[in-house]
Amino acid sequence: MQDTFEVIALIGRPAAGKSEVIDYLKKESVERRKKRFRIGAFEEIDDFPFVWETFEIDDILSKHGRERLFTTPDYYFKDPFVWNLFIERISLEFAKRLARDPNYLKDTTAIVEFARGGPNGFREAFSFLSDEILKRAGVVYINVSYEESCRKNRRRCDPKKADSILFHSLPDEKMEFYYKINDWDKMATGNDGYLTIRGHTVPFSVFNNEPEVTDKPEELGIALEGVFGRLWKRMQEKPRD
């Protein structure tokens, strides 16, 4: 019987603490991670590299006098549907891993990671995730206010590492444009429950990270034991799709 999560969707506002949670998990041994969090070996599928690649492609096209396909010269998306394109790429990457190894999830947890806001929020993002992900997934939403998200976004800014998952950052005006509106509270009620997405019952648990816990390793470990423990219980109790 499966004793670890197959898929976790780790979501929240920018700089909510998703990358810090991943970093903490990486520093735990496989056996300890499995015992504490029901996560053994794991791999990430984060949409930030897809976002950054889109900027790079447009920059190369612009360099050669061609029209930018997806973004304006100041890196706003021309068409908001591109956010859904990134979710489709997450689903495609997951499908490729399953195709390469049908037993992929027997020993590995796939952690799907993304942030969303504005009119193209979490509800729309989840509607584009594949059935193969949704039927296996549990969701951990890292909850911080918009103001806290902005504070931490500014703090992590390192221009020399702008392409990195841990140190990328957005200007304040882009934070407001894309992320000030957040639809999580319209999707979910309380700290634990179930989302219904395209006929799939998807368990969720909320990790409240304000005041910040992700910068305190000892407290973070205890908090993660709690949130993953609650989510595991929800996974075992969830009705069949």
CATH code of the domain in which 34 resides: 3.40.50.300
Structure tokens belonging to residue 78: 């021309």
Structural domain of residue 205, as residue ranges?
Answer: 7-237
As a whole number, mean pLDDT of residues 90-112 equals: 97
Position 2 in a domain? no
Residue 186's Cβ-count burial label (10 Å; 0-12, 13-18, 19+) is exposed
Strand bridging mode 7-12 / 108-114: parallel
**pLDDT at site 168:** 61
pLDDT digits (tens, 9 = 90+) for 122-178: 999 999 999 999 999 999 999 999 999 999 998 876 766 555 544 467 889 999 999
Asked if residue 59 has pLDDT above 90, the reply is: yes
Query: Which residues pair with residue 45 across a beta bridge?
Result: 112
- At residue 218, does pLDDT exceed 70? yes
In this prediction, residue 159 carries a pLDDT of 67
Task: Determine, yes or no, domain membership for 1.
Answer: no
The answer to whether residue 181 sits within a structural domain is: yes
**Residue 218 belongs to some domain of the structure:** yes
Region 54-75: what's the mean pLDDT? 97
What is the pLDDT of the chain when averaged over all its residues? 93
Residue 116 covered by a domain: yes
pLDDT digits over 4-42, tens only?
Answer: 999 999 999 999 999 999 999 999 999 999 999 999 999
In the predicted model, is pLDDT for residue 120 greater than 80? no
- Total number of domains constituting the chain: 1
Assigned domain for 196 exists: yes
Residue type at 59? Answer: D
Whether residue 24 lies inside any domain: the answer is: yes
Q: What is the pLDDT of residue 157?
A: 65
pLDDT of residue 170: 87
* Percent of all residues in the chain with a pLDDT value above 70, rounded to a whole number: 94
Residue 167's pLDDT is 47
**Closest Cα to residue 53, out of 37, 67, 70?**
70
Q: Which pLDDT value is given to residue 239?
A: 81
pLDDT at 105 over 90: yes
Say what the pLDDT of residue 62 is: 98
Rounded CA separation 211/214 (Å): 9
